[in-house]
Chain A
Amino acid sequence: MPEMVDQIFVLLKHWIMGYVPGSLQPLCSAILSVLPILVVFPLLFAITTVLERKGLGRMQNRYGPNRAGPWGILQPAADGIKSLTKEDIVPRSADQLVHLLAPVLIVIASFLVYSVVPVGRNMVVADLNAGVLFFFAIGSMVELAVFMAGWSSRSKYSLLGAMRAIAQMISYEMPMVLSGVVAIMAAGSLSTVTIVNMQAGYTGIWPHWYLFTPWGITGYILFMIAATAESNRCPFDLPEGESEIIAGYFIEYSGFKFALFFVAEYLGMMATSAMAITLFLGGWAAPFSFLTWIPSWFWFFAKLIFMLMIFIWIRGTLPRLRMDQLMNFGWKFMLPLSLINIVCAGLWHYLPAGFTRWSVISLLLLLSCFLLSRSLRRSKWFQERTYRFAS
């Protein structure tokens, strides 16, 4: 019985496919795989916006949305209707075609990355040989869309926002990829499905997730910091800094195009969370061996919502970074530490298993983390700030 509940969506697809004539089967199979992604993740986005606004409201000692429906749960529907009925204003001097294409491209790129994320046992749209590479390759298209949005608006604020966003995304893409490399090294494969399968076993009741190794937890934390920066969220929300450049690269967008940027930002956040779950948190695997009777897709989405909660918590807690702090942290701390982490993962592979391996690698990582952060604090950037044009 648990197996059937676990595979219920796969069985459902096979059952529908039984009624489809042979010539239409490839097309129908593709549609049946893609459609759930197009339904579930936007729905999750809607839930996340309510959770975020309620959660942030709690943290800031206010109520949050509480007018639309009971406890404000109909707020996303109201927001959707509002943005659909708003007037779509395009600046007269804007580059009309590029201005139109930018939100389309960013949403396409945000949806495409979900095709390699395994959301449950046997539940992945495309088990690519180079799935992780596909994820990062498509993710880099977002940068181009951001530039297109910022440049085509012909506004100084949007151009500044785009420059900030691209600089930040390029700087944090490298630590993100490099911190993901340790999981690829351990699994010996670029396929997301294989990486999850390699983490599926248990020792006693404890799972074999890469999170529970010294290099795994370092990689996970680095990956999450880089993911926060990639999705332009607080404390890395300089590209949108309301107090400085109003709204960043999508300032000249209104109506549903604006909503598309909003959707893409949240979809990107969920996609990087899903990739972090795949690489370090065992994908759809249950956290304890005695909980395996709960279906795999439930565990995946439980982990995803947990990760989104962390994102919201961080947003409610931390203030925005300064540009120089952002760049110094990215290049002088994240990048060296992720490179050291790769070396440590290699050492871990060749050292004999046991307590010695654990302590040696942990000590190595802690020491390098300590030294790197010390050098950051020592550098003149973190001293008292002097202003050139203000007193």
Chain B
Amino acid sequence: MTLSFLLLAAIAILGAAAAMNLKSAVHCVLALTLGMVGLAALYLQLGAQFVGLTQLLVYVGAVAILAVFAIMLTRSRTGETVAHGSASSRISGALTALLVFAVLAWAIFTGVSPQPLSGAQPEASVREVGVALMQRFVLPLEIIGVLLTAALVGAGVLAIEEKGGDR
């Protein structure tokens, strides 16, 4: 464990923890974004450039902005405080988190990689990702494309119906 790993992990965990505990909804989104940036930096540190940069592009560039827009458009007063859950929901949440953590830890410690990790980093990883997406995983890619298009059309239909009486 290097110093940079510890720092980045601390940023990611602090961001996630702050996202759960801060009062203002906008602060929560910003803290969550910080956690996402920490995760992206961890990916970059591991040499997974494509994953890291995509994480940055999708979560910072799209998801955070979307969340911010949702808060802006749905709340009457900007930055309204969030109601934190009751005691029972907190306990169940903690239990779920603990279970997920236990399963992940078990998988990491007992799992063996099918081939021993070689020292050499795979070069041109972006190219490999592209080739895999276009050849082996082309059907899932197409299905996701259709799904997203359907979601887009659905969102458009919902948006139009609201203004129906106006026209």
A residues within 8 Å of B by Cβ? 95, 98, 128-130, 133-134, 136-138, 140-141, 143-144, 147-148, 151, 159, 163, 166, 170, 173, 189-190
A151→B65 CA distance, assembly (Å): 12
Q: Are A133 and B54 in contact (CB under 8 A)?
A: yes
A190→B54 CA distance, assembly (Å): 13
Nearest-CB residue, chain A, relative to B71: A151
Q: Are A143 and B49 in contact (CB under 8 A)?
A: no
CB of B6 to closest CB in A, whole Å? 19
A128→B53 CA distance, assembly (Å): 11
CB of B156 to closest CB in A, whole Å? 11
Q: Are A130 and B61 in contact (CB under 8 A)?
A: no
Q: Are B126 and A98 in contact (CB under 8 A)?
A: no
Residues in B with CB closer than 8 Å to A163 are 72
Residues in A with CB closer than 8 Å to B62 are 140
Q: Are B49 and A140 in contact (CB under 8 A)?
A: no
- Interface status of B78 (Cβ within 8 A of chain A): yes
Residues in A with CB closer than 8 Å to B57 are 133, 136-137, 140
- Interface status of B9 (Cβ within 8 A of chain A): no
A contacts with B: majority SS: helix
Q: Are B126 and A144 in contact (CB under 8 A)?
A: no
B contacts with A: majority SS: helix
List 4 tightest A-B contacts by C-beta distance, closest first: A140-B61, A137-B56, A137-B57, A133-B53
- B38-72 vs A: 1/0 string, CB under 8 Å? 00000000000110011011001110110011001
- Interface status of B30 (Cβ within 8 A of chain A): yes
A134→B43 CA distance, assembly (Å): 13
Other than the given A98-B30, A147-B65, A163-B72, 4 more pairs (CB < 8 A) read A136-B57, A140-B61, A140-B65, A144-B60
Nearest-CB residue, chain B, relative to A166: B65
Size class of the B contact interface (CB-based, 8 Å): 20 to 34
Give the residue of A130, A141, A159 whose beta carbon is less than 8 angstroms from that of B50.
Answer: A130
Q: Are B61 and A137 in contact (CB under 8 A)?
A: yes
Q: Are B65 and A144 in contact (CB under 8 A)?
A: yes
Residues in A with CB closer than 8 Å to B24 are 95
- Interface status of B11 (Cβ within 8 A of chain A): no
- Interface status of B26 (Cβ within 8 A of chain A): yes
Assuming A143-B65, A144-B64, is B124 touching A151 (CB within 8 A)?
Answer: no
Give the residue of B65, B123, B124, B126 whose beta carbon is less than 8 angstroms from that of A170.
Answer: B65
Residues in B with CB closer than 8 Å to A170 are 65
- Interface status of B125 (Cβ within 8 A of chain A): yes
B residues within 8 Å of A by Cβ? 24, 26-27, 30, 33, 49-50, 53-54, 56-57, 60-62, 64-65, 68-69, 72, 78-79, 123-127
Q: Are B49 and A130 in contact (CB under 8 A)?
A: yes
Residues in A with CB closer than 8 Å to B49 are 128-130, 133-134
Assuming A140-B56, A141-B61, A190-B126, is B50 touching A148 (CB within 8 A)?
Answer: no
Q: Are B33 and A151 in contact (CB under 8 A)?
A: no
A189→B50 CA distance, assembly (Å): 13
Residues in B with CB closer than 8 Å to A95 are 24, 79
Q: Are B68 and A129 in contact (CB under 8 A)?
A: no
Nearest-CB residue, chain B, relative to A109: B60
Residues in B with CB closer than 8 Å to A130 are 49-50, 53, 126
Residues in B with CB closer than 8 Å to A128 are 49
A136→B24 CA distance, assembly (Å): 29
Residues in B with CB closer than 8 Å to A129 are 49-50, 123-126
Residues in B with CB closer than 8 Å to A136 are 57, 61
Residues in A with CB closer than 8 Å to B33 are 144
Nearest-CB residue, chain B, relative to A147: B68
User: Please, could you name 18 A-B residue pairs with CB atoms under 8 Å apart, sorted by A?
Assistant: A98-B30, A128-B49, A129-B123, A130-B53, A130-B126, A136-B61, A137-B54, A137-B56, A137-B57, A140-B62, A144-B65, A148-B30, A151-B68, A151-B72, A151-B79, A163-B72, A189-B127, A190-B126
A201→B78 CA distance, assembly (Å): 55
